[in-house]
Structure 1
Amino acid sequence: MYPNLYYFFKDAFGVDWNFLHFVNSFGFFVAVSFIISSIVLTKELKRKSKEGIFGPTEEKVVVGKPASVNELLINFVLGFVLGYKILGLFFTKENNINPQDYIFSAQGNWLAGLALGAIFAFIKWRDKNRQKLAQPETRVIRVWPHDRVGELTMLAIIFGLLGAKIFDTFENWDTFLKDPSSFFSMSGLTFYGGLICAGIALWWYTHKHHINFLHFIDVMGPVMMLAYGIGRIGCQVAGDGDWGIYNAAFKTAPTGGVFPATLNDFNATVAQQSAYFAGNSTHHAFFPKPGFLSFLPDWVFAYDFPHNVNEAGVPLANCAGKFCTHLPVPVFPTSFYETIMALILFGILWALRRRFKIAGMLFGIYLIFTGLERFLIEKIRVNVKMHLLGIEPTQAELISVLLIIAGVVMILILNRKNRAGTTPVKTS
């Protein structure tokens, strides 16, 4: 496991670059997922615009004005914050610094903040000065949906992360009450919370800018599935706790690594590590590696997540310092499974995207796919149980079922409206 990029570069290239401590592996892959998804989103919006599905909107802008004091001040403040905090992390001399603790503390580099603030303000002044006219003019410009991908991405990031954190907080309310500062940690994010909150924000934005929402969500379905698959790579690499229940068919070596075992070995480990298991579930399954999959490594079926970012588990032998733990019994690497499933489902959605003539149908299929995928993985995934009408579903299972139902209902309604001639039809 690589909790942050420092450990990856040290292991892969033998370099000791202290500033990489602040680049968490999970956050890095989340950023990669947004970047790649933005590229795919732009490509699809352009395709639909060429096919006449999306059109531009006209906006009035004033050109030729010099930079105002407010514009310069806003850019200076933005540059100062980034320099004080982000560049400050690059220049810090502390080892094993916790990025979240640093970001939400008063620590920072004043010189870097002032310098970057001045640079940001100068860039804004220079750009405005280059476009300055003797007499400022009001012009009408045409803005296409693909021109708004930057704004759409920022909305998805802000409301997606906020929603993911809010839903996780409700799911783990007792933990939040004990430590309210945990809300500001990047660990513990509920995907469905992000999906719901980002969806509401994007609906508002598309309505405001006259972008057909049904056509838009058809584009977003494959994009979100792709983003989810890439983001789960970060969960696997960092070992952030999004793993499965114990696989009692394997056991863990003291120095890390897994190998086949018996159920007696599992029971013996639980007894030997009674202090650890006293506060942790022993929910497990016994699933040996099938013979027809013997070519796959053991960690595909059970993994002990050594050096995980949560520092969960028991101490690793011959390891000292931070991130020196692993799980005493290996678990199903569900984040790895979800990456594979999500990328396969993305491929299916991508292949189907030109086939449907009714706008919104592809997104209905996405809802069914994403709900079914998560519902199935919850059967072997560690999660908080809810007490509801005599059953104990997880929050994700409940939302998964609702998404599947929503997808089916959406497809039926769109079909009915299409027969009645009231549903937008794709021209592709």
Structure 2
Amino acid sequence: MHPIIHHPTVFKFGFLELTGFGLAVLMAFVIAQIVCQREFWRRGQNAEAEAMPDIVLAALIGTLVGAKTYYVALTGDPSAFFSRGGFVFWGGFIGAVALCYATIKYKKLSFLKIADVCGIGIAAGYAVGRTGCWAVGDDYGRPFNGFFATQFPEGAPPSTAAVMSQQFGVQFPAGTNMSDVIAVYPTQLYETLMGFVMFAILWRFRKHANLPGWLFGMYCIVAGIERFIVEFFRAKDDRLVMGFSTAQIIGIAILTIGVVLVAARTKRSGPLATA
């Protein structure tokens, strides 16, 4: 079975260059805003719907700053702030939640009401945003030769034996040519698919009859599970406790928060709560 040979997606308009990653991130936030606003309108929460442009802007800034800060802390390289790569999801998630919380409180709105709907939008945006990782060729997996195995000769970084060995701690047999491009798991596609599954689950429960925040708790649960699973296939060099990566440990923490939220905000009967 021959591996897929991946090349980055780039759109050029004269002197302007738009990468597939940049386009995917842009569309992720656009789709998240559309999903959230429509759900708020369906619920009759017009004030929350009207606040979404400001909240999405806060999420965008928080995501960029948080993702880069997390990456710099992880690598210990301050110059990474100015590189094109190095956007880590959990760092972006934490940064976005923090800045969105401040924005929502400034507008004197309910954080849990908004978070309840935003979980759906985040899942939709995540599924779209992960296509950008595929487009640019980063966040790929460990060596793999099965179905959909992919080589990233122009990835960020390329999936060569040298990169896999030096940056991700992958061990190769003696005599391996370090310039060889290695076929790997296309984990970006796995995450895109699981993102759509997360969205479908949350969309299915959007008319729940529990207290505000319950659905955001569900998001935390499915997001924690998704990240925990995919990390087993990712090319990583930060395995810490019992072979789990930093992202898996954070995923377990997010999942735990979700379980607590779901338990605390569950209401046994009655219409959709508005308190």
Pick the TM interval, shorter chain: 0.7 to 0.9
Partner of 2:127: 229
Counterpart-to-counterpart distance in 2, 1:185 and 1:383: 19
Give the CA deviation at 1:204: 1.5
Partner of 1:181: 79
Q: Tell me how large the CA RMSD over aligned residues is.
A: 2.4
Partner of 1:371: 224
Alpha carbons 2:130, 2:191 under 8 Å: kept: yes
Alignment of 1:195 onto 2:93: yes
Counterpart-to-counterpart distance in 1, 2:180 and 2:124: 29
- Indicate how the Cα distance of structure 1 residues 396 and 351 shifts in structure 2: closer, same or farther if over 3 A, else same: same
Counterpart-to-counterpart distance in 1, 2:49 and 2:125: 18
Superposed CA offset, 1:125-144 (max 9, x none): xxxxxxxxxxxxxxxxxxx2
- Indicate how the Cα distance of structure 1 residues 309 and 382 shifts in structure 2: closer, same or farther if over 3 A, else same: closer
Counterpart-to-counterpart distance in 2, 1:401 and 1:161: 23
Give the CA deviation at 1:210: 2.0
Alignment of 1:161 onto 2:64: yes
Alpha carbons 2:210, 2:265 under 8 Å: kept: no
Query: Counterparts in 2 of 1:220-259, with a 5 A limit?
Result: 220-240=118-138, 242-247=139-144, 250=145
Alignment of 1:393 onto 2:244: yes
Q: Which runs of 5+ in 1 are unaligned?
A: 10-16, 56-143, 251-287, 289-297, 315-325
- 1:19 alignment partner, one of 12, 15, 22: 15
Partner-residue secondary structure (3-state), 1:402: helix
Query: Counterparts in 2 of 1:285-364, with a 5 A limit?
Result: 288=146, 298=147, 300=148, 302-313=149-160, 328-364=181-217
Alpha carbons 1:2, 1:25 under 8 Å: kept: no
Partner of 2:170: none
Give the CA deviation at 1:181: 2.6
Alpha carbons 2:225, 2:255 under 8 Å: kept: yes
Partner of 2:165: none
Alignment of 1:34 onto 2:29: yes
Superposed CA offset, 1:202-257 (max 9, x none): 112112212221111110111101111111101012102x011101xx2xxxxxxx
Give the CA deviation at 1:186: 3.0
Specify the structure having the higher radius of gyration (Cα). 1
Partner of 1:61: none
Partner-residue secondary structure (3-state), 1:23: strand
Give the CA deviation at 1:309: 4.3
Counterpart-to-counterpart distance in 2, 1:25 and 1:181: 23
Alignment of 1:3 onto 2:8: yes
- Indicate how the Cα distance of structure 1 residues 306 and 199 shifts in structure 2: closer, same or farther if over 3 A, else same: same
Alignment of 1:215 onto 2:113: yes
Could you state the TM-score of these two structures normalised by the residue count of structure 1?
Answer: 0.55
Q: Which runs of 5+ in 2 are unaligned?
A: 1-5, 162-178
Query: Counterparts in 2 of 1:398-417, with a 5 A limit?
Result: 398-415=249-266
Partner-residue secondary structure (3-state), 1:400: helix
Superposed CA offset, 1:30-57 (max 9, x none): 0111111111122122222x2xxx36xx
Superposed CA offset, 1:248-275 (max 9, x none): xx2xxxxxxxxxxxxxxxxxxxxxxxxx
Sequence identity (%): 31
Give the CA deviation at 1:19: 2.6
Query: Which amino acid is the alignment partner of residue 398 of structure 1?
Result: I
Alignment: residue pair count: 252
Which deviates more from structure 2 when the two are superposed, residues 350-359 or residues 338-347? 350-359
Query: Which amino acid is the alignment partner of residue 395 of structure 1?
Result: T
Query: Counterparts in 2 of 1:9-158, with a 5 A limit?
Result: 17-20=13-16, 22-48=17-43, 50=44, 54=45, 144-158=47-61
Query: Which amino acid is the alignment partner of residue 159 of structure 1?
Result: G
Counterpart-to-counterpart distance in 1, 2:112 and 2:52: 17
Give the CA deviation at 1:425: 5.6
Counterpart-to-counterpart distance in 2, 1:345 and 1:169: 29
Alignment of 1:380 onto 2:233: yes
Superposed CA offset, 1:61-85 (max 9, x none): xxxxxxxxxxxxxxxxxxxxxxxxx
Give the CA deviation at 1:398: 0.8
Counterpart-to-counterpart distance in 2, 1:306 and 1:397: 28
Counterpart-to-counterpart distance in 1, 2:150 and 2:9: 19
Give the CA deviation at 1:414: 2.2
Give the CA deviation at 1:313: 2.4
Give the CA deviation at 1:357: 2.7
Superposed CA offset, 1:94-121 (max 9, x none): xxxxxxxxxxxxxxxxxxxxxxxxxxxx
Counterpart-to-counterpart distance in 2, 1:231 and 1:359: 26
Give the CA deviation at 1:2: 4.4
Query: Which amino acid is the alignment partner of residue 205 of structure 1?
Result: T
